[in-house]
Structures are given as structure tokens and as C-alpha cells.
Structure 1
Amino acid sequence: MKNKTLKYYGAALLAMFFWSFSFVWFKVAYQAYDPMTVVLIRLSLSAVIMFVVARLLGKLQTLRKGDLSWLILLSFFEPFLYFMGESFGLKYVSPTVAAVIVATVPLFTPFAAWYFFKEKLNTANLTGLVISFAGVSLVVFDRSSGLMASPLGVGLEFIAVLSTIGYAVVLKRMVAHYNGYTIISYQNLIGAFMFLPFWGVFEAEGALATPFSLTAFTAIVKLVIFASILGFIFFTYSIRHIGINKSNMFINLIPVFVAFFSFFMLGDEINGQKILGITIVISGLFLAQFKRRKRSNETYSTLQKRRA
């Protein structure tokens, strides 16, 4: 039993590790291509690969009647809305700032449960929220020059945060009936179709006139393999076995990974203020998790029954 538990937590950790790289690879891809072009290529390639792999392994399940609408909602939250927020946000803020904002996801999960399902909030939730936002402020503000990160970029990244919560709640319902291969195959395919009209209106002309960049395209392929496929497979597996709260708790580690990768791969500056801010954010997040971890399985079991 202990080995299985370690495997479930290890899957969540690997998902966050792969997703941390995505913040850096997006920046590399943007050197040649615009955000929606990057996302459309990423989703199209990952959908094709996943459907082929799922078919070959016999893992592609037939959708039950009525579940297509849930898959559309799932795809709207992620990849569509999440990538709209994250991808455009990374045009205006550094990967480290974006990762710190995205790491506040575990704080908002119990607030969503309170709003939609009347679950109670506790003091740890509220205290952790205040502490973590203080840490975010240290990362995005500078005492001498004011805001170090674009307000537009920060706002877009918070859209990604909210969409992640919506995605996790819907995903919890879907994993009761479908494996990760089926869910990821359809969510990427539907997501690609959601992006297609926006790409056609805003970026198609420029994308078709852009010369091919091997460096940028290689970054997109890495996004496909590690972030869109392996990351989601591991995350889906983790949510199936240990639930939303415990899986999302590992998002706390993303700023640490991203700060490390950005420093060595992109040359981003990591000063004492940012390190202090990241530390405070993570401390607040773990504080918010501490008192409610014992009830996480019961809470989300109740939520699932109420949604059924």
C-alpha cells in the first residue's frame, strides 16, 4: 500500500516537473511564433499522437451518452481558457512570475467548493491566502520602480489559475468513467478546434508568412511530449487515486522548478526579493493545505456525489 501511495504522489510530482518546463519552452517558442500559433500546433500534434497511441494500446474508450458536453466543458477550461491566460500572459511577464501566480491554485480550490457546494472555509484557508498573496507581491513589485510585472500579464495568469480549478473539478467527475488516454485525446482535439477560429482571425496570416524556426519548433515538440501528454497522463492518474487537493498541492513546487530552469536556460534574474517572495508563497500554500488535508478525500467524495 505504501509503495502504491508513493507512486501516486510521484505521478503528481512528475506532472508538475514537466509543466514547469512549459513556462520556459513557451518563451523559446515565442521567439518565432505568436501564442495561438504555438498552442494550435501543440494541441494538434498532441491530439494526433494521443489518438494513435491510445488506439494501438487499446486504451481509447467509447464515450457514454451525455458525456461529450462534459468533455467540451473540460476542454474549455483546459486547454482553451488556461492556454489563453498562460500563453498571452507569458508575453508580458517572466516565467518565474507566471509560475508563482499559477502556484496559488491550491488556495482557490476550497473557495470554489464553498461557492458551488457550500463547503465551509477554515482559518488556515484564509491565513494561507493572505500570506501567499504577500509573497506574490514581493515577486511582482519592486520598492523603487513599482510593478515589475505587467498588470495585463498578471491578470491573464490569474485567468489560468481560475480555469485550472474549473478543470480539476470537472476532471474529478470524468476520471470515474474514463482513463487518462481517452480524456487527454479528446480534450486536446476539442481544444484545438476551439482555438482554430481565433487563430484564423488573428494570427493565421502572420503565421503562414513566418519562416520556419527549428529552435522554436523543437520547443513546441517538447511542449507536446512532456507537458501536453506526459504531464496530463501523470496528473490524471494522480487525481484518480489521491484526489484534487492532494494532487494540486504539488503545484506549490512549480515556482521553484521554474525559477531554477529560467535562471539556467533563459538567464532570468533571481534576486533576494524574489527568493523571499517564492518562499512566502509556498509557506502560505502549505499552511492553507495543512488543516484540511485530513478531510480532502471526504470533501471531494461529497462533491462528486452532489454533482451526480
Structure 2
Amino acid sequence: MPKEEKKAIIAGLVCSFIFGFSFLFTKKGLEVMDTYHLLALRFSFAFMVFVILRITGYVKVNFRGKSLWPLLFISFIEPILYFIFETIGIKLTSSSETGMMIAVIPVITLVFAFFLLGERPNPGQIFFIFLSVFGMVFMIVMKGKLEVGENLIGTLFVLGAVVSAGLYNVISRKISKEYTPQEITYFMMIVGMVFFNALSIIRHIMNNDLINYFAPLFNLKAVVSIFYLGFLSSVVAYLLFNYMISKIEATRSSVFSNLTTLISILAGVLLGNENFYWYNILGSLFILGGIWGTNRFAGKKELNYA
């Protein structure tokens, strides 16, 4: 395996680890503020971190002579559409249904990548992609209390999140030849900051509560949550993810989404005193095997994005 691909896979593993633990910090943050307020402060802090990184020279961003429309489009898909769909969908559906639908992101990405990028995974890769999906679904089914389709609107919102994630994987890959991972991530943070702050401020005005907009910054639990989500989950993880997807096919990178979910389960076990059963171990092996196989049996040909 070429060195660049190895670095990309390592980046995928690290960002999956960061994203996996983000659920715990999101849960802690939501104990102090509502979802959109947390997102607003998260992306505001991420933007400030990027400004510091640019000033100190650790991150180089140059949009001169480049069209911003592709960046606006991908930023509209994620973070805006993805987080809105996911937030509303989780509220309206069961955790089992949400988990099952999120698990099929690699399959949705595979379909989009086939039509939009011309990526054609070989039979071995397809098998391992579905093996990863099966591992996630297997754990959810074995856990019991499976509720599917009880709230159609909620299901549609979760489906919107899945489609948004799949599109993001493919479009980020497509525009990676024109923009660096730093440029893509930086622009995403700007759009996320502007949109979610505007949305949150409007909600605070409607609730006659604007005076408390910065109150979470004086709460230790909120500050820790904002730091983790803004710095690690937004700046570091998205930089790593956009780097990974610029180096390997979208179908290969998408299987890391199930690793993220697996790590979130392990984080709940280690830090949240949740139980870990035999079917979690077996499902974990399926997921890890799927990720290994999808990348191990990747073809060597260069893709054409025209």
C-alpha cells in the first residue's frame, strides 16, 4: 500500500476516534444549552482556532482565483443540512432506527460515488462494505427494542442526514483536486459559525433570552464540551477526514463512519458505565473486518473525476 494511502487510513482512524467520543461531549453540552446554541458556540470556537492557526502559519488557506460556489455547496450539505436532519431525526425516532439508518452511509456513498465519481469498487470491496454495515445492524438488532418506521417524518429526517453524509463524502472527494483539506475545512467552519449563530440568536430573541447567549461560557461543563467539539471534533477531525478523502476513494473512506459509531459505543462503556455484550464483540469484529477488507482489496487504478 502506498505511503499516502497509509497516512490517509491513519487519519481516518484518528478522526473516527475523535468523532466517536464527541457524542459524550455533545450529551454533556446539551445538559446546559440547546442543540443549535451548542452548534453555534462549537463552530465559533472552531473558527477562532482556525484564525489562530492561520496567523501562526500552521494552516495555509488561499481562495484567490478560486470559485467559492463549490465550497458553499458542500458546506450547505455539511454541516448545515446534516446537523439539522440528524438533530430533528434523533428527536423523532428511536435510537435503534437512527443507528440502523446511519449504518448504511457507506452504501449510500457507494451509490453516489458510482454515478458522480465513476468509482467502481471490486466485488471484494462491496462484500466488506456490506460486512461493516451488517456488523452495525447486527448489534442494534441483538440489543432488542427495534422500532422501525414508527414516525415517518423522523425517519425521513434521519434519511436526509444519511443522504447528506453520502453526498458530502463524494463531493469532498470531487473538489479535493481544486481545494486543499485546510481550505475545505476552514470554509465549512465559517459557514457553520454564521448559520448556526444566526439561527440560535433568532431563537433566543423569540424566547426573550438573548441576554444569556454567552452564559454557557461561564459553565465548566459547557466550556469543556465546546472545546472538545470545536477544536477536536471540528478542526482536527474534519481536517483529517478531508485529508483522508482527498487521498482514497469515497467508498473506502465512508466505512469509517461505522467505526465512529463503534467507538461511541465503547466510549459509553468506558466512561458512561454502559454494558458491553457478546454481540457487541461480534458486531465489532464485523465492522473492523469490513474496514480492513474495503481498504485491503482496493484497486490501484487512478480515478477520473471529469
Aligned partner of 1:195 in structure 2 is: 196
User: CA offsets, 1:127-157, max 9 Å, x none?
Assistant: 6777666655544457875529985766544
Deviation at 1:125, TM superposition (A): 7.7
- The runs of 5 or more residues in structure 2 that have no matched partner are none
Deviation at 1:225, TM superposition (A): 1.1
The question of whether the paired residues in 2 share the 8 Å contact of 1:28 and 1:216 is answered with: yes
**Bigger Cα displacement from structure 2, 109-118 vs 180-189:** 109-118
TM-score, normalised on structure 2? 0.78
Q: What amino acid maps onto 1:29 in structure 2?
A: G
Q: What pairs with 1:3-152 in structure 2 (closer than 5 Å)?
A: 3-57=3-57, 59-65=60-66, 67-89=67-89, 91=91, 101-116=101-116, 136-141=136-141, 145-147=145-147
The question of whether the paired residues in 1 share the 8 Å contact of 2:28 and 2:225 is answered with: yes
* Two-structure CA RMSD over aligned residues (Å): 3.7
Question: Residue 176 of structure 1 aligns to a residue in which SS?
Answer: coil
Aligned partner of 1:219 in structure 2 is: 225
Aligned partner of 1:245 in structure 2 is: 251
Q: What amino acid maps onto 2:161 in structure 1?
A: A
Aligned partner of 2:236 in structure 1 is: 230
The question of whether the paired residues in 2 share the 8 Å contact of 1:12 and 1:247 is answered with: yes
Aligned pair count reads 299
Distance 1:68 1:56, change over 3 A: same
Deviation at 1:100, TM superposition (A): 6.1
The question of whether the paired residues in 2 share the 8 Å contact of 1:99 and 1:258 is answered with: no
Q: What amino acid maps onto 2:175 in structure 1?
A: M
**For 1:294, which of 299, 302, 305 is the aligned residue?**
299
Aligned partner of 1:170 in structure 2 is: 171
Task: Output the CA distance in 1 between the equivalents of 2:158 and 2:291.
Answer: 17
The question of whether the paired residues in 1 share the 8 Å contact of 2:125 and 2:298 is answered with: no
Q: What amino acid maps onto 1:238 in structure 2?
A: M
The question of whether the paired residues in 2 share the 8 Å contact of 1:141 and 1:149 is answered with: no
**Bigger Cα displacement from structure 2, 14-23 vs 105-114:** 105-114
TM-score, normalised on structure 1? 0.78
The question of whether the paired residues in 2 share the 8 Å contact of 1:46 and 1:224 is answered with: yes
Distance 1:93 1:20, change over 3 A: farther
Deviation at 1:14, TM superposition (A): 1.0
**Bigger Cα displacement from structure 2, 166-175 vs 30-39:** 166-175
Task: Output the CA distance in 2 between the equivalents of 1:94 and 1:261.
Answer: 20
The question of whether the paired residues in 2 share the 8 Å contact of 1:88 and 1:153 is answered with: yes
Task: Output the CA distance in 2 between the equivalents of 1:155 and 1:277.
Answer: 26
What percent of counterpart residues are identical?
21
The question of whether the paired residues in 1 share the 8 Å contact of 2:11 and 2:243 is answered with: yes
Distance 1:149 1:254, change over 3 A: farther
